[in-house]
Amino acid sequence: MKVSQRAQDVPASATIAVTSRAQELKAQGVDVVGFGAGAPDFDTPEYIKDAAIASLKAGQTKYTPAAGIPQLRAVIANKLRKENGLDYKPEQVIVNIGGKHSVYEAMQAVLDPGDEVIMGTPFWVTYPETIKLAGAKAKIIQTDKSTGYKITPEQLRKAFTDKTAMLLLNSPNNPGGFTYTPDELKAIAKVLEGTNICVISDEIYEKLIYGDTQFVSFASLSKDAYNRTLTLNGFSKTFSMTGWRLGYTAGPLDVIKAMARLQDHMTSNAVTFAQYAAIAALGEPAADTIESMRVEFERRGKYMTERLNRIKGVECCESTGAFYCFPDVSGHFGRTIGGVKITGSMDFAKALLDQANVAVVPGLPFGCDNNVRLSYCCSLEQITKGLDRLQKWLGS
């Protein structure tokens, strides 16, 4: 059958591909260490599961308003007020079917064909595709170690054209765990003043920050920032609820209403009993639950970064948030390992999996071919085992 040009132009997700390949090999009995997954390895907390079960038992199994049940929209608005200093009315919040859906729908609601979207490298693999699907063009700012893989206000200003419609921010960042300081974000907000550029601030990793890293919501920085920003978040990472498919967007009422109209026709509501569970998730036991996961991620991230930096030809910036390390491995490019010539991140990741049974995601689809992504969503024992293998493989 004919496949549309639109669909042909979209590649499979590199992160999902690596995770699936590692799972496949494990199912075949291969002892793979999987650093591919961008999903917490903890189970969803019991109190959240209990709320979903209670919701099912209470017969909450029918359609809800497409934008979400009013109680959940109100609870999210309250969370954003209390934790993020953001004053959104419940009508300014829409519940989406995962944060990925929030990104897609927000772009569909704001972008027109020909519009340009600015984002820095490294970026999450899904962003370029959602930009393309909205008919817009990604304008990519190349970053490097010297700025901690973050864009500078000068780079941003230089990237503006009369087509610039959006700036995409993701802090803490996937794939590197890089986090903008409040001052860095303030400087970016200042550069945007006087323009009509909309900002998507993807804050899905807000709770996973380490050391003395500070998180701040972009929209809370000023009235101007508030008016131009769509704040995106979700339950996948904070509450280890990746399979529940719950995300949300908050922002100017006209855009949220436009997203709701699109959602009316695309998906309708997020799963009904998951929405009731989400109300529980944001309730009383949330803080302790989040903190215990955060502490464990911090321990793993520190260990992984230190060990990576001890490997010759590998350089890893500190992972200040999320659950990823994104080392530069280009010191090994040009070598032949196990009979395979390593010319970039794609060869590197493939050869590492084939020869040493360690799954990492190549940096190329994140916009940085010198790097690979390792997620620390697995036990310290697995991390030790995987890094031992990596070290041995690179030393061979």
Pick out residues in 223-252 that bind ligand PMP (CB under 6 A).
234, 236, 242, 247
Pick out residues in 160-179 that bind ligand GLU (CB under 6 A).
174
Locate the DSSP E strands across the chain. 33-34, 93-96, 116-120, 137-141, 164-170, 198-202, 229-234, 247-250, 324-325, 336-337, 340-341, 358-359, 361-362, 372-375
The count of chain residues that interact with ligand PMP, using the rule CB under 6 A, is 13
Q: Which of 13, 71, 309, 382 binds ligand GLU (CB under 6 A)?
A: 13
Residue 76 CB neighbour total at 10 angstroms: 24
Please report whether residue 16 would count as binding ligand GLU according to CB under 6 A. Answer: yes
Question: Closer to ligand GLU at the Cβ: 174 or 217?
Answer: 174
Please report whether residue 40 would count as binding ligand PMP according to CB under 6 A. Answer: no
Cα distances (Å, whole numbers) of residue 70 to 21, 103, 130, 194: 40, 22, 28, 35
Q: Note the helical H segments in 219-367.
A: 223-228, 253-266, 272-281, 286-309, 345-356
Please report whether residue 99 would count as binding ligand PMP according to CB under 6 A. Answer: yes
Please report whether residue 150 would count as binding ligand PMP according to CB under 6 A. Answer: no
Shortest distance in whole angstroms from residue 196 CB to ligand GLU: 30
Pick out residues in 328-357 that bind ligand GLU (CB under 6 A).
none
Please report whether residue 384 would count as binding ligand GLU according to CB under 6 A. Answer: no
Shortest distance in whole angstroms from residue 99 CB to ligand PMP: 3
Structure tokens at 163: 């087509």
Shortest distance in whole angstroms from residue 324 CB to ligand GLU: 8
Please report whether residue 17 would count as binding ligand GLU according to CB under 6 A. Answer: no
| CA atoms of 174 and 221, how far apart (whole Å) | 22
Question: Closer to ligand PMP at the Cβ: 68 or 234?
Answer: 234
Shortest distance in whole angstroms from residue 327 CB to ligand GLU: 16
Q: Strand, coil or helix: what is 21?
A: helix
Pick out residues in 110-139 that bind ligand GLU (CB under 6 A).
124-126
Structure tokens at 294: 């955060």
DSSP one-letter string for 110-157: H--TT-EEEEESS--THHHHHHHHTT-EEEEEP--GGGTS---HHHHH
Q: Which of 34, 38, 327, 365 binds ligand GLU (CB under 6 A)?
A: 38
Q: Which residues of this protein are in contact with ligand GLU, per CB under 6 A?
A: 13, 15-16, 38-39, 100, 124-126, 174
